[in-house]
Amino acid sequence: MPANLTADFLKARNEFRAAKDRHDKLVALEKMLATIPKHKGTDHMQADIKRRIAKLKEETQGKSSHRKGPQLDHIEREGAGQVVLLGPPNSGKSSLLAALTNAHPEVAEYPYSTVLPLPGMMRFEDVPIQLVDLPPMSAEYSESWLYSLVRQADLCLLTLDGSLQAEELANTVEEIILLLEEHHIRLVRRKEITEEEMRVRDVPCRIVLTRGDLGDLASRVEELSDLFPVIVTSPIDRTGLDALREGVFVALNVIRVYTKLPGKPADMVEPYVLPVGSTALDAVRMVHRDFVDRLKYIRVWGSGRFDGQQVPSTHLLADRDIIEIHLS
């Protein structure tokens, strides 16, 4: 049977031949696998591509080579929280990372274009938040380290192509929920610390519908909001990007605290970020561990108190509070 290879496949094969390192080879092979016509005549070629992909991935993870490759199951956390972009192939995860951060992921019309996790920093007002673009998750094919990265995240943005029918979207969400559950991860609206947390990892989730530029997605939003809060976006016409930044900050369930030295104006540039429910003493500890022992008293400017009032160390802080730390 003739293979009837497409122009896209031949282009990907040329890219593979020109690739200089493992990463570029892997990207080209994934493209070849995505674009190769799927029929009997290409069975051997498909198997060969899959074998090469598996070998390269093993090498990248340092399994078959003695040189240690990059660690894929952990990404160093930066900023106020680590937020993963998770979803089926081609849903628009990489496009969002590119629109919201300084990172430059590969964005492509074909599925499985992202093969390695890629972090970037997004800002909500004065708060830096880490977004991590992930390779696609699907029942057919997903990396084991993908689950480790979701497990470690503070928030999951379940990214879906909003131009799909509501039923297809609901099925996709269901499929991803099941895949995660098989790996002891449960997507939740809000994280509650429970006994079960030992076995099952709860990860707060928001649904992000992309393709907001292509039509009204109100009916899909209505259907999906029963599962998780939904944000409609488009990196193309920038629909909903500010709402997404704010939604992520709110979902992270954190507050900003600014500090000031006695008699000086507050440093309003770099806030400390703490979990909701943190006390004045938690903030002092974050500024400097040793300050806890040397603490005389704390004054707070902001919500709940009149400006500059001295507060007990158990005082609950609110977002945007300013604290003045007096040491002995």
Ligand X SMILES: Nc1nc2c(ncn2[C@@H]2O[C@H](COP(=O)(O)OP(=O)(O)OP(=O)(O)O)[C@@H](O)[C@H]2O)c(=O)[nH]1
Interacting residues toward ligand X by CB under 6 A: 87, 89-95, 107-109, 111-114, 136, 210-211, 213-214, 234-236
Residue 111: contacted member of Mg ion, ligand X, none (CB under 5 to 8 Å, by partner type): ligand X
Residue 15: contacted member of ligand X, Mg ion, none (CB under 5 to 8 Å, by partner type): none
The nearest distance, CB 148 to ligand X, in angstroms, is 18
Q: Which is nearer to ligand X, 49 or 311 (CB)?
A: 49
Task: Give me the 97-136 binding string for Mg ion, x by CB under 5 A, dash otherwise.
Answer: -----------------x----------------------
Token pair 């799927």 in the structure block, residue? 38
Number of residues that bind Mg ion (CB under 5 A): 3
254 φ, ψ (degrees, to nearest 5) = -125, 165
Residue 61: contacted member of ligand X, Mg ion, none (CB under 5 to 8 Å, by partner type): none
Q: Which of 61, 94, 239, 278 binds Mg ion (CB under 5 A)?
A: 94
Cβ neighbour number for residue 320 with a 10 Å cutoff: 16
Q: Which is nearer to ligand X, 135 or 204 (CB)?
A: 135
171 φ, ψ (degrees, to nearest 5) = -65, -40
Stretch that binds Mg ion, among 94-102, 139-147, 156-164, 262-270 (CB under 5 A): 94-102
Residue 108: contacted member of ligand X, Mg ion, none (CB under 5 to 8 Å, by partner type): ligand X
Q: Which is nearer to ligand X, 91 or 259 (CB)?
A: 91
> In terms of C-beta density within 10 A (0-12 exposed, 13-18 middle, 19 or more buried), how is residue 17 classed?
exposed
Helix (H, G, I), strand (E, B) or coil at 80: coil
Number of DSSP helices (H) and strands (E) in the chain, helices first? 10, 12
Residue 89: contacted member of Mg ion, ligand X, none (CB under 5 to 8 Å, by partner type): ligand X
Residue 204: contacted member of ligand X, Mg ion, none (CB under 5 to 8 Å, by partner type): none
The nearest distance, CB 88 to Mg ion, in angstroms, is 11
Q: Which is nearer to ligand X, 107 or 287 (CB)?
A: 107
Contacts 24+ apart (CB under 8 A), 107-114: 108/31, 110/8, 110/31, 110/34, 110/35, 111/34, 111/136, 112/30, 112/31, 112/33, 112/34, 112/136, 112/141, 113/27, 113/30, 113/31, 113/34
Side by side, which strands form the sheet with 254-260?
267-275, 254-260, 321-327, 295-301, 309-311
The nearest distance, CB 91 to ligand X, in angstroms, is 4
In whole angstroms, what is the distance from residue 153 CA to residue 59 CA?
26
The nearest distance, CB 110 to ligand X, in angstroms, is 7
- Name residues whose C-beta falls within 8 Å of residue 191's C-beta, 6 or more positions apart in sequence: 202, 203, 204, 253
Q: Which is nearer to ligand X, 239 or 278 (CB)?
A: 239
279 φ, ψ (degrees, to nearest 5) = -100, 170
The nearest distance, CB 234 to ligand X, in angstroms, is 4
Summarize as ranges the residues that interact with Mg ion (CB under 5 A). 93-94, 114
